[in-house]
């Protein structure tokens, strides 16, 4: 195992590369990363790096966003086929229809989306800043794509606006059920329930805290409580435990696994650097169109 970490370090030096990893990739990949974080943190950090190559240990839309924000850099995806199914769950035709229906419409696009959807949107958001950004918009009518659960959560948090959620969903978070949370709660009655806003409304309703992966980790780390039930993807347990060795964290119903994130292996990180594979290319017109909503997000999310 140590040998592959050494190889990766050597390849990083050779190619002037830096490794970014999302909290959902396997623990051993997070261990080799220079920066680990949620989608917002990683997009922000990607714009501040001196390295000429960014290896993005995450799914397709993450590498694509990093490339859009840094067109002059080489962005490599260790597993380019590792896609987020939710990223495709909205359509150009529906966006057009909504723009015709509401004159003042703002199309707010969750970063978990294809470049095409971003290019048709007014501003991007992540789970860390969606509420704050929607609140700050001058528009009354908001079409929130693609995640219907995050969209409904934002609608509830910003009742002064007409937030119309899209119909997409994350299959990983959709699997979390009320019954499974209640079953873990029965075993650990003192535990607080921390969930991601991609979970369904009935899950958010029975939780003690709702936040992005970073927000969940920060909340647990700062809390005086000792036990937590975690309603998000299993990958967060690595940081949760590392930062809180004296606390206990329980998954729901055996835990949630994003199959695409788990395809990003240590070997694939090494191989993309070694063979310069998985390079992300974004058409220059699409890149320019996507840069606007992404840059607005970085500005508004500050
Ligand atoms: P965050 O990184 O915003 O917590 O979102 C989780 C997710 O589903 C990423 O794919
Ligand atoms: Fe997409 Fe869900 Fe996987 Fe995140 S956890 S990448 S939203 S499928």
* CATH code, 30: 3.40.50.10800
Instruction: Give yes or no for residue 215 having a pLDDT over 90.
Output: yes
Do 123 and 133 meet the contact criterion of CB atoms below 8 Å apart?
yes
**Ligand 1, CB cutoff 6 Å, lining residues:** 38-39, 84, 112, 126-128, 170, 198, 212-213
- pLDDT tens by residue, 278-289: 999 999 999 999
In a domain, 298, yes or no: no
In this prediction the pTM is 0.96
Q: Long-range contact list for 298-302, CB < 8 A, 24+ apart? A: 298/43, 298/44, 298/47, 298/69, 300/123, 300/129, 300/132, 300/133, 300/136, 301/40, 301/44, 301/125, 301/126, 301/128, 301/129, 301/132, 301/133
pLDDT at 301: 84
Average pLDDT for 26-42: 97
Contact indicator for 25, 58 with CB cutoff of 8 Å? yes
Whether 180 and 157 map to the same domain: the answer is no
Tell me the C-alpha to C-alpha distance, in Å, between residue 242 and each of 27, 43, 221, 284.
11, 23, 10, 41
Per the structure, the count of domains in the chain is 3
- pLDDT for 123-164, tens place per residue? 999 999 999 999 999 999 999 999 999 999 999 999 999 999
Which of 239, 255, 271 corresponds to the end of one domain?
255
What tokens appear for 25 in the block? Answer: 């990739």
CA of 238 relative to ligand 1 center, distance in Å: 15
Q: What's the pLDDT at 203?
A: 97
Segment 155-199, tens digit of pLDDT: 999 999 999 999 999 999 999 999 999 999 999 999 999 999 999
Has residue 55 got a pLDDT over 90? yes
Long-range contacts of 141-144 (CB under 8 A, 24+ apart): 141/102, 141/104, 141/105, 141/106, 142/105, 142/106, 142/108, 143/95, 143/98, 143/102, 143/105, 143/106, 143/107, 143/108, 144/108, 144/110
Residue 23 lies in a domain: yes
* 289 part of a folded domain: no
Does some domain include residue 302? no
Identify the pLDDT of residue 184.
97
What spacing in Å lies between the alpha carbon of 103 and ligand 2's midpoint?
A: 32
pLDDT for 254: 84
Domain contains 290:
no
Distance between Cα 268 and ligand 2 center (Å): 19
SS3 297: helix
Task: Find the ligand nearest to 261 CA.
Answer: 2
Ligand 2 atom 2 nearest Cα? 170
Predicted local distance difference test score (pLDDT) of residue 164: 98
Please list every protein residue whose CB sits less than 6 Å from any atom of ligand 2. 24, 59, 84-86, 112, 170-172, 198, 233, 258, 260-261
Is residue 187 domain-shared with residue 222, that is, in the same domain? Answer: yes
Evaluate if residue 302 carries a pLDDT over 90.
no
Q: Ligand 1 test: best mutation among 37, 39, 170, most atoms within 8 Å of CB?
A: 39
Domain of 70, in residue numbers: 2-82+261-282
119 is a domain residue: yes
Instruction: Confirm if 31 and 9 have CB atoms less than 8 A apart.
Output: no
**What's residue 265's pLDDT?**
98
Q: Whose CA is nearest to atom 5 of ligand 2?
A: 258
Between the alpha carbon of residue 269 and those of residues 5, 67, 162, 280, the distances in Å are 10, 17, 43, 14
Mean pLDDT of 57-67: 97
Instruction: Please tell me the predicted confidence (pLDDT) of residue 297.
Output: 97
Cα 176 to Cα 96, 158, 182, distances in angstroms: 33, 24, 11
Residues 228 and 265 in one domain: no
Split at pLDDT 50, 70, 90, the class of 14 is very high
User: What proportion of the chain, given as a percentage, has pLDDT over 90?
Assistant: 98
**57 located within any domain:** yes
Atom from ligand 2 closest to the CA of residue 84: 1
| Average pLDDT rounded to a whole number, residues 243-271 | 97
Closest among 1, 53, 57 to 258, alpha carbons compared: 57
Q: How far is CA 27 from the centre of its chain?
A: 16
Does 190 lie in the same domain as 162?
A: no
Q: Which atom of ligand 2 is nearest to the CA of 258?
A: 3
Within a 13 Å sphere around the CA of 119, how many CA atoms are in the beta-carbon half?
14
């Amino acid at each position: 195992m140590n040998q592959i970490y050494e190889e990766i370090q050597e390849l990083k030096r050779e190619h002037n590369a830096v490794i970014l990893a999302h909290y959902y990739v396997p623990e051993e990949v997070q261990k080799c990363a220079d920066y680990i974080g949620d989608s917002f943190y990683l997009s922000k950090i990607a714009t501040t790096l001196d390295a000429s190559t960014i290896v993005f240990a995450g799914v397709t839309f993450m590498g694509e966003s990093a490339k859009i924000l840094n067109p002059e850099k080489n962005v490599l995806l260790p597993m380019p086929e590792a896609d987020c199914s939710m990223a495709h769950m909205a359509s150009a035709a529906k966006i057009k229809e909504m723009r015709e229906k509401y004159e003042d419409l703002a199309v707010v696009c969750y970063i978990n989306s294809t470049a095409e959807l971003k290019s048709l949107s007014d501003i991007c958001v992540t789970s860390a800043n969606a509420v704050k950004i929607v609140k700050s918009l001058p528009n009354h009518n908001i079409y929130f794509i693609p995640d219907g659960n995050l969209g409904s959560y934002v609608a509830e948090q910003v009742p002064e606006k007409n937030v119309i959620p899209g119909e997409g969903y994350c299959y990983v978070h959709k699997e979390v059920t009320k019954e499974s949370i209640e079953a873990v709660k029965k075993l650990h009655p003192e535990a607080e329930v921390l969930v991601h806003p991609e979970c369904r409304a009935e899950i958010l309703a029975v939780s003690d805290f709702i936040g992005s992966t970073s927000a969940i980790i920060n909340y647990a780390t700062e809390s005086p409580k000792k036990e937590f039930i975690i309603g998000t993807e299993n990958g967060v347990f690595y940081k949760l435990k590392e930062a809180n060795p004296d606390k206990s964290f329980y998954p729901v119903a055996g835990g949630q696994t994003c199959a695409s994130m788990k395809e990003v292996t240590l070997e694939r990180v090494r191989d993309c650097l070694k063979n310069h594979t998985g390079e992300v290319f974004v058409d220059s017109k699409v890149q320019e169109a996507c840069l606007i909503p992404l840059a607005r997000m970085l500005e508004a999310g500050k």
